[in-house]
């Protein structure tokens, strides 16, 4: 299972960590500090890089803030940066690359959302402290001035970092009114850093959840992806559900909290789902190039069809027949609403639809033909399907869990054996389209496709055939028609 959130941070350790990180990035910050101050401007390292430096995390993407206007920043970067871009100029941001370093420099600013607008009104500010006050959380509202390397922390970010708590620099209601996406960011940072969220922030999220509706689906999607791919996604997802934000951005998840699982155990489907997600994360470490969003989101969505398919039987049991198919359709609809790519939508919904397939395997009754179809239907999602299927076993019955694991081990072994013998990952009929047309004496058309599908099913049932046997079978099929 994922590691527990880290223990409190010692301030002395944070100070040592930030000093070491500043030495590491000195080739960038020292020269930029000199260039800007000699031109009469202020400049400081700010936000995430300062926070992560105190946590002992290193990266080569640096955010800085300055009193210089964008055109002045661009001028000062020329001759130092290897490349410069200005896509964020409207927001005061100029980006550049210097060797292996990616740098974004933003003019001091203040921004606020109109109650009915999805886009912020941006005004340039005139002080570092004012710029820090507009930031989302105190742990992101710290700066290091350059070139002097003085830590500026007007809102207690160091203390909050030490206690691993998320607070806003000012009133959370004001912060979330300025930018409602910060409510999603609170959940994302909880998931990424393993932090708790200040009760006042949670209350504001609950009271203002409906404000998230003015934010574009793309921005919500991006925060959700970061949350799901974080080390502790349960923390963030639980916060979304408890504050009512999930009702608006991912309503299928809180809907599970009211459903009992099909075996009437103590856990509901919501808790089962979070456990499956955590077990999928544990498995992806060795089976996938994780963190893997598709695998994790499939785990999160695999049972969303249960509320709509729940039926009570006379003997007191409950069934969820076809919840895999219904859940796949619901998953596709939700991901489209969140503007996911077609590739991601297809992959996740396909996994949701297939997640129950293994349970027909029994204790190994599948024929080789059934194993081939399992591989064919999974397609390029087979490795992820292995992860999802194994993660979906959350029983506390050790004997049953061991039996399911051994059975799936056996299925994977059979897949590997057949793959080695038959190249399962590229299953094709034993005759191609040109051969079909030549043997049957026909031209391109629907009948060629029908013949191709017949030969593919034959290949699934019988395994590889010789060209002569495939030809005889094709002729017999044509005669029967």
**pLDDT at site 421:** 66
The region that residue 4 occupies, defined by phi over 0 for left and psi between -120 and 50 for alpha, beta otherwise, is beta
Long-range pairs, 367-372, Cβ under 8 A, ≥24: 368/414, 368/418, 368/463, 369/460, 369/461, 369/462, 371/411, 371/414, 371/415, 371/418, 372/418, 372/422, 372/424, 372/427, 372/459, 372/460, 372/463
State pLDDT tens for residues 385-414: 999 999 998 877 888 888 888 888 988 898
CATH 1.10.1300.10, domain 164-250, yes or no: no
**pLDDT at site 266:** 41
Q: Is the pLDDT of residue 281 over 50?
A: yes
Query: Topology of 1-163 in CATH?
Result: Beta Polymerase; domain 2 (3.30.460)
Q: Is the pLDDT of residue 264 over 60?
A: no
Q: Is the pLDDT of residue 258 over 70?
A: no
| Residue 288 contacts residue 280 (beta carbons within 8 Å) | no
**pLDDT at site 265:** 45
Rounded average pLDDT over 95-120: 80
Rounded average pLDDT over 243-269: 78
**pLDDT at site 403:** 86
**pLDDT at site 426:** 57
**pLDDT at site 433:** 87
**pLDDT at site 366:** 81
423 — pLDDT class (breaks 50, 70, 90): low
42 by DSSP, 3-state: which? Answer: coil
**pLDDT at site 364:** 64
**pLDDT at site 12:** 84
422 — pLDDT class (breaks 50, 70, 90): low
**pLDDT at site 21:** 93
**pLDDT at site 363:** 63
Rounded average pLDDT over 114-125: 67
Rounded average pLDDT over 229-236: 96
Q: Is the pLDDT of residue 336 over 80?
A: yes
Q: Is the pLDDT of residue 425 over 60?
A: no
Q: Is the pLDDT of residue 263 over 80?
A: no
**pLDDT at site 121:** 63
53 — pLDDT class (breaks 50, 70, 90): very high
φ, ψ of residue 313 to 5 degrees: the values are: -100, 155
From residue 197, how far is each of 7, 240, 386, 465 by CA, in Å?
A: 15, 12, 35, 63
State pLDDT tens for residues 282-333: 999 889 987 999 999 999 999 999 999 888 887 778 888 899 999 999 999 9
What does R_g of the chain's alpha carbons equal in angstroms?
28
**pLDDT at site 95:** 97
Question: Which residues, in sequence order, are CB contacts of 49 under 8 Å at separation 6+?
Answer: 59, 61, 62, 63
Quote the mean pLDDT of the chain. Answer: 89
**pLDDT at site 169:** 94
Q: What's the distance, CA 345 to chain centroid?
A: 13
1-163 and 164-250: identical CATH topology = no
In the chain, where the domains are located:
1-163, 164-250, 275-426, 433-480
**pLDDT at site 3:** 57
**pLDDT at site 50:** 95
Helix (H) or strand (E) holding 56, with range, is none
Out of 58-72, 217-231, 341-355, 452-466, which region has the weakest mean confidence (pLDDT)? 452-466
8 — pLDDT class (breaks 50, 70, 90): confident
């Amino acid at each position: 299972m994922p590691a527990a959130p880290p223990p409190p941070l010692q301030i002395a350790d944070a100070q040592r960590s930030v000093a070491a990180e500043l030495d590491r990035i000195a080739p960038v910050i020292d020269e930029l500090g000199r260039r800007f101050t000699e031109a009469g401007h202020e400049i400081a390292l700010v936000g995430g890089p300062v926070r992560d430096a105190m946590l002992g995390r290193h990266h080569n993407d640096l955010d800085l803030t300055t009193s210089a206007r964008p055109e002045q920043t661009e001028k000062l970067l020329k001759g130092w940066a290897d490349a410069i871009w200005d896509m964020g100029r409207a927001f005061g941001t100029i980006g550049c690359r210097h060797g292996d370093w990616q740098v974004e420099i933003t003019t001091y600013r203040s921004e606020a959302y109109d109650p009915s607008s999805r886009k912020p009104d941006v005004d340039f500010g005139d002080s570092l402290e004012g710029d820090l006050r507009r930031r989302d959380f105190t742990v992101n509202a710290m700066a290091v001035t350059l070139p002097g390397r003085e830590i500026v922390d007007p809102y207690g970010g160091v203390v909050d970092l030490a206690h691993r708590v998320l607070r806003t620099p000012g009133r959370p209601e004001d912060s979330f009114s300025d930018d409602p996406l910060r409510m999603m960011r609170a959940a994302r940072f909880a998931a990424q850093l393993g932090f708790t969220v200040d009760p006042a922030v949670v209350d504001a999220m609950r009271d203002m959840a409906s404000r998230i509706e003015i934010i574009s689906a793309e921005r919500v999607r991006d925060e959700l992806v970061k949350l799901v791919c974080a080390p502790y996604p349960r923390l963030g997802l639980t916060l979304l559900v408890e504050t009512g934000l999930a009702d608006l951005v991912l309503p299928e998840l809180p809907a599970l909290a009211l459903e009992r699982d099909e075996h009437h155990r103590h856990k509901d489907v919501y808790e089962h789902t979070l456990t499956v997600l955590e077990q999928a994360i544990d498995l992806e470490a060795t089976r996938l190039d994780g963190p893997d969003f598709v695998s994790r989101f499939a785990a999160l969505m695999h049972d969303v069809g249960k509320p709509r398919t729940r039926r009570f039987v006379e003997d007191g049991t409950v069934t969820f027949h076809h919840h895999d198919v219904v859940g796949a359709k619901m998953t596709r609809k939700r991901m489209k609403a969140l503007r996911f790519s077609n590739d991601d939508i297809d992959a996740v919904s396909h996994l949701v639809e297939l997640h129950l397939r293994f349970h027909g395997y029994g204790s190994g009754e599948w024929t080789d033909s059934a194993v081939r179809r399992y591989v064919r239907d999974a397609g390029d999602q087979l490795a992820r399907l292995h992860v999802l299927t194994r993660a979906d076993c959350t029983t506390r019955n050790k004997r049953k869990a061991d039996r399911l694991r051994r059975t799936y081990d056996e299925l994977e072994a059979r897949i590997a054996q057949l793959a080695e013998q038959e190249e399962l990952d590229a299953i094709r009929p034993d005759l191609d389209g040109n051969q079909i047309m030549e043997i049957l004496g026909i031209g391109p058309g629907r009948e060629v496709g029908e013949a191709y599908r017949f030969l593919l099913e034959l290949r699934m049932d019988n395994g590889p055939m010789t060209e002569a046997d495939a030809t005889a079978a094709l002729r017999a099929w044509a005669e029967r028609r």
